[in-house]
């Protein structure tokens, strides 16, 4: 690891923290994908809480606050918690979130009972046992980096080697089981990898950071792709980027690393949820608004035409009463019709009148709507090779002229 | 009231307040909201300290409640985009709030001792020592506060029963008949947040988290009827309050921890021997069915 640390133009401790955050982000992004996609996002939370009784039992057995044995205790408790969680989920109607919650609260209650028991033994060396689990990124050592890198390598290897099997088991476990794949063992194996990552991560950066690191890169990556093959590397890269950015920001502003990384991760995930192209919340809101405007535009165009056929050209107020459209919507739509050159206002009363282009547009629109109505009525008798529904806004373009002409024929006879 | 009774009643009332809402959280796949709220109150405590320089219980409860409500609304907002599932939304929001709290402490409040244990995460064993004088009668503060919350929850659940039921099981249907599932779910989440924050202060965070999840999940294993499920959740909560207290006294152990373990025991029992969904019942059913299939096949041959 020494060469990597030397490579980074930062002080020794800062470089260690940045590399640690990057490795942790990479591992948790990849492993977290499997948790998040199974609705088990908070499994890290449960494992982190479950470590408490494990630490207590390890202390009771060894009688000393030795880092190695306490971590082993925490890992065993985490494994027990994870296996219980998977078992509850598989054998009963309890859903993943409740299973995680039950395991979390039961293990933590047990931990508290054990802590009071240890405290009643009047042994001075037990002080601070419960704080032992929750580390500080600033306290990372080069030796820790080696452990983390080994873990990251091992889990990436497992994921790459077993990608196809894991994918089937993840998305359709019944199908996987019918193929003869050992679904439960796979499930437990993936959870175990997660447990080891969480136990080591929690010791280094704290429980809450670990919870966030398993989730935020995956949520962000999920907004950007639909394919597991891209999701996994993307989540890993995003996780590493979040870790590095958070660690650099933290060292720059002299704040604790863990919380800053959490904040950065949340911002990245939120940005992806809002702005992801084609899927993000804001993108969709804009799309919906544009569709609404288009619908109003076409609707009002036809309504003016109908009103002109029925009698004298209507005033805005008459049109509003006839159509029941909200005042503001009608006003903006009329303005955009005018701007498009489809509408004129006549005389002192500003009566609405379609221009020549407007009449032509209305006529074309009516034809398109008739064609859609014809499709709904006769579409099944066309016997098209392509079974897909045409675009209701433009049936002719999506079916082709041939089919559209036949539809028109069917509708007129 | 003697001290034992105060502790048991406090825990029982907390179990009532939580048991009324817990089943809905379990059914809506948001059981871990309680754990999220327990972490999200930290920035509230810090903000209360920074703004008003106080650690008085009422101010801290209000500060914590503001952030708890913020937390559940943010989770609901993220979830309602349809892009993030509720478990991931929970896991995105509460670490953020907790992290902001930690940053606030290190940046502005590192000089003072803002100990979570002493401010909002109460210890149920101290419940009898804090007494209010209401109209000449001495009432333990925790009993009064939790009792009020439990009563409010009862009123809410009874008044909105039909709507809660419809929106929990079939939000689409509820929407079409003119109920407002989004609004109702937000009101319920706010009720959860306020219940949790007030209960933290009297009985401690882990007991609240336990009481919101485990009795509800246990009841879910025992029955298909919502009314029975809520009643069972409250009942299991009271059982663990009473049994947990005596267990803790007998074993000289943590009261909240022992009550949690009794809850765990109830869950394990239900998981094993629930008449309809228990492991034993399922195994028996499966064996009977395969025997029936075998005889049917033999008869056909």
Pick the CATH number of B3-300 from 1.10.645.10, 1.10.3470.10, 3.40.50.1860, 3.30.70.1450: 1.10.3470.10
Return the pLDDT at A112. Answer: 86
What is the residue extent of each domain of chain B? 3-300
CATH topology of domain A2-276: ABC transporter involved in vitamin B12 uptake, BtuC (1.10.3470)
The model's pLDDT over B160-211, given as tens digits with 9 standing for 90+, comes to: 999 899 888 888 888 888 888 888 889 999 999 999 888 887 888 889 999 9
Assess contact for A1 and A147: CB atoms under 8 A.
no
What average pLDDT does the structure give for chain B? 87
Q: Which of A94, A105, A260 sits opposite B221 (nearest CB)?
A: A94
Q: How far is B87 from chain A (nearest CA, A)?
A: 6
Chain B within 8 Å of A122 (Cβ-Cβ)?
no
Return the pLDDT at B68. Answer: 92
CATH topology of domain A283-354: Arc Repressor Mutant, subunit A (1.10.10)
Chain B residues whose beta carbon lies within 8 Å of the beta carbon of residue A42: 32, 35, 87, 90-91
Residues in CB range of B145: below 8 A, 6 or more apart: B198, B201, B202
Chain B within 8 Å of A120 (Cβ-Cβ)?
yes
Low-confidence ranges of chain A (pLDDT < 70): 1-2, 122-139, 204
Q: How far is B97 from chain A (nearest CA, A)?
A: 9
Nearest to A240 by CA among A267, A207, A265: A265
The model's pLDDT over A187-205, given as tens digits with 9 standing for 90+, comes to: 888 888 888 888 778 776 7
What is the residue extent of each domain of chain A? 2-276, 283-354, 359-412
Return the pLDDT at B96. Answer: 94
| Buried/exposed A362-393: b ≥16 CB within 10 Å, e otherwise | beebeebeebbebbeebbeeeeeeeeeebeee
Rounded average pLDDT over B215-237: 95
Return the pLDDT at B118. Answer: 45
Return the pLDDT at A397. Answer: 82
Test A113 with B95 for CB contact under 8 angstroms: no
Least confident of A179-188, B11-20, B104-113: B104-113
> HEC states along chain A?
CHHHHHHCCCCHHHHHHHHHHHHHHHHHHHHHHHHHHCCCCCHHHHHHHHHHHHHHHHHHHHCCCCHHHHHHHHHHHHHHHHHHHHHHHHHCCCCHHHHHHHHHHHHHHHHHHHHHHHHHCCCHHHCCCCCCCCCCHHHCCHHHHHHHHHHHHHHHHHHHHCHHHHHHHHHCHHHHHHCCCCHHHHHHHHHHHHHHHHHHHHHHHCHHHHHHHHHHHHHHHHHHCCCHHHHHHHHHHHHHHHHHHHHHHHHHHCCCHHHHHHHHHHHHHHHHHHHCCCCCHHHHHHHHHHHHHHHHHHHHHHHHHHHHHHCCCCCHHHHHHHHCCCHHHHHHHHHHHHHCCCEEEECCCCEEEECHHHHHHHHHHHHHHHHHHHHHHHHHHHCCCCCCCCCCCCHHHHHCHHHHHHHHHHHHC
Q: Which of A44, A98, A263 sits opposite B213 (nearest CB)?
A: A98
| Buried/exposed A199-219: b ≥16 CB within 10 Å, e otherwise | bbbbbbbbbbbbbbbbbbbbb
Assess contact for A184 and A240: CB atoms under 8 A.
no
Return the pLDDT at A75. Answer: 87
Residue B122 has pLDDT above 70, yes or no: no
* Cα separations in angstroms, A410 against A376, A396, A397: 12, 15, 18
Q: How far is B133 from chain A (nearest CA, A)?
A: 33
List, as ranges, residues 175-234 from A with C-beta within 8 Å of B.
208-209, 211-212, 214-216, 218-219, 223
Return the pLDDT at A136. Answer: 53
User: In chain B, what percentage of residues exceed pLDDT 90?
Assistant: 49
Test A112 with B220 for CB contact under 8 angstroms: no
């Amino acid at each position: 690891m020494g060469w990597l640390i030397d490579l980074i133009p930062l002080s020794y401790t800062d470089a260690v923290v940045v590399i640690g955050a990057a490795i942790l982000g990479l591992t948790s992004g990849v492993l977290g994908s499997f948790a998040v996609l199974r609705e088990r996002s908070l499994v890290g939370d449960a494992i982190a809480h479950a470590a408490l009784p494990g630490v207590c039992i390890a202390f009771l057995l060894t009688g000393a606050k030795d880092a190695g044995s306490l971590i082993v205790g925490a890992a065993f408790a985490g494994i027990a918690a994870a296996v219980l969680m998977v078992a509850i989920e598989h054998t009963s109607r309890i859903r993943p979130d409740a299973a995680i919650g039950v395991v979390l609260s039961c293990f933590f209650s047990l931990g508290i009972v054990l802590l009071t028991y240890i405290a009643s033994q009047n042994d001075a060396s037990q002080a601070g046992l419960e704080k032992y689990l929750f580390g500080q990124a600033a306290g990372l050592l080069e030796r820790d980096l080696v452990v983390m890198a080994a873990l990251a390598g091992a889990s990436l290897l497992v994921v790459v080697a077993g990608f196809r099997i894991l994918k089937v088991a993840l998305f359709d476990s019944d199908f996987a089981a019918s193929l003869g794949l050992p679904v439960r063992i796979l499930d437990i194996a993936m959870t175990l990898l997660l447990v080891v990552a969480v136990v080591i991560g929690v010791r280094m950066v704290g429980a809450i950071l670990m919870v966030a690191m398993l989730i935020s890169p995956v949520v962000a990556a999920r907004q950007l792709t639909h394919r597991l093959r891209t999701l996994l590397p993307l989540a890993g890269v995003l996780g590493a980027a979040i870790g590095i950015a958070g660690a650099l920001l933290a060292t720059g502003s002299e704040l604790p690393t863990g919380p800053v990384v959490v904040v950065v991760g949340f911002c990245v995930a939120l940005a992806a949820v809002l702005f992801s192209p084609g899927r993000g919340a804001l993108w969709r809101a804009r799309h919906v608004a544009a569709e609404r405007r288009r619908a109003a535009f076409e609707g009002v165009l036809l309504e003016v035409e109908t009103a002109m056929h029925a009698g004298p050209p209507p005033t805005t107020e008459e049109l509003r009463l006839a159509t029941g459209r909200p005042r503001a919507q009608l006003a903006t739509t009329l303005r955009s019709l005018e701007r498009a050159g489809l509408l004129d206002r006549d005389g002192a009363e500003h009566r609405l009148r379609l221009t020549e282009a407007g009449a032509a547009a209305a006529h074309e629109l009516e034809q398109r709507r008739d064609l859609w109505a014809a499709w709904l009525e006769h579409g099944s008798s066309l016997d098209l090779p392509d079974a897909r529904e045409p675009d209701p806004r433009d049936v002719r373009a999506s079916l082709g002229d041939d089919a559209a002409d036949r539809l028109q024929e069917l509708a007129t006879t | 009231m003697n001290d034992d009774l105060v502790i048991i009643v406090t825990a029982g009332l907390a179990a009532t307040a939580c048991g009324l809402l817990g089943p809905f959280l379990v059914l809506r796949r948001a059981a871990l909201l309680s754990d999220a709220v327990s972490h999200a109150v930290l920035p509230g405590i810090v903000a209360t300290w920074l703004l008003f320089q106080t650690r008085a219980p009422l101010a801290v409860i209000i500060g914590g409640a503001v952030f708890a409500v913020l937390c559940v609304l943010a989770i609901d907002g993220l979830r309602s985009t349809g892009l993030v599932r509720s478990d991931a939304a929970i896991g995105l929001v509460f670490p953020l709030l907790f992290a902001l709290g930690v940053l606030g402490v290190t940046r502005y409040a590192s000089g003072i001792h803002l100990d979570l244990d002493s401010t909002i995460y109460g210890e149920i064993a101290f419940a009898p020592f804090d007494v209010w004088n209401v109209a000449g009668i001495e009432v333990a503060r925790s009993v009064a506060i939790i009792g009020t919350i439990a009563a409010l929850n009862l009123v809410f659940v009874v008044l909105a029963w039909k709507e809660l039921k419809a929106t929990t099981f079939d939000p689409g249907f509820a929407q079409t008949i003119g109920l407002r599932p989004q609004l109702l779910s937000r009101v319920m989440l706010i009720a959860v947040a306020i219940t949790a924050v007030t209960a933290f202060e009297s009985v401690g965070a882990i007991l609240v988290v336990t009481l919101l999840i485990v009795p509800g999940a246990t009841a879910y294993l025992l029955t298909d009827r919502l009314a029975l499920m809520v009643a069972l959740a409250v009942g299991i909560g009271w059982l663990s309050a009473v049994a947990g207290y005596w267990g803790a006294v007998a074993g000289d152990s943590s009261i909240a921890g022992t009550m949690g373990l009794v809850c765990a025991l109830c869950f394990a029992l239900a998981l094993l021997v629930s008449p309809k969904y228990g492991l034993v019942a399922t195994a028996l059913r499966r064996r009977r069915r395969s025997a029936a299939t075998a005889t049917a096949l033999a008869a056909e041959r």
